[in-house]
A = this chain, B = another copy of it.
Amino acid sequence: MIEEKIVNGINVTKLYSTIDTIKERPGLAKFQFRATNKWVNSMHNRAKVKDFYGAGKEDDTRTEPYVFDADEPQVLLGEDQGANPVEYVLVALSACLTTSLVAHAAVKGIQLDEVESRLEGDLDVRGFLGISNSVRRGYEKIRVTFKIKSNATREQLLELIDVAQKRSPVFDITHNTTPITVTLET
């Protein structure tokens, strides 16, 4: 029986054994995540997330989908039946940076007590509305501020903030370019 090392609730022993397995069989690292979406009415639509492929097979551990309603607030002509699409981007980014930070702290043996963050994204809707072509459609800038409670030094925490950005998939997707193809089913 191997004694397992758990830091920040993360099983570091299992994480290292997963890394070793993937090093031997890189094909296991290939994942495909999925979502479906169905328009409801006006600005309101509903996305579902359930199945995915990873670790060499279709995952079947989820019995029910996660369901997400998206809409626009009234000031953007919606009925506010859910967060809007660009707010979901901030949700994704906040979650990914947090997970990356906590996981890498665990690997380094740094115990964290509290991790909170606040995100702000500046968006000029003239882009989306087609009023100006010199205004970009998406966020002009996103600011993330972390507040961490831990016995670690400020230097260690700053290093975690740095590693979180370097490792986070959503930071990469948002900060860098990602190829997307959009097609119409015949």
Which positions in A face B, CB cutoff 8 Å? 8-11, 14-15, 18-19, 22-23, 26, 29-39, 41-45, 47, 49, 52, 54-55, 59, 61-62, 66, 68, 70, 72-77, 80, 82-100, 102-103, 112, 114-132, 135-148, 154, 157-158, 161, 164-185
Contacts and interface: CB of A to CB of B under 8 A. Distances in A.
16 contacts: A18-B129, A26-B131, A34-B120, A36-B94, A39-B112, A39-B116, A43-B102, A66-B87, A68-B95, A91-B92, A138-B170, A139-B178, A142-B180, A145-B184, A154-B184, A174-B180
A119 B37 contact: yes
Contacts of A42: 8-10, 102
Total identical chains? 2
A165 B47 CA distance: 18
Residue in A45, A92, A118, A174 whose Cβ sees the most chain B Cβ within 10 Å: A92
Given A85-B96, A123-B169, A158 B144 contact: no
Contacts of A129: 18-19, 22, 29
Residue in A8, A83, A139 whose Cβ sees the most chain B Cβ within 10 Å: A83
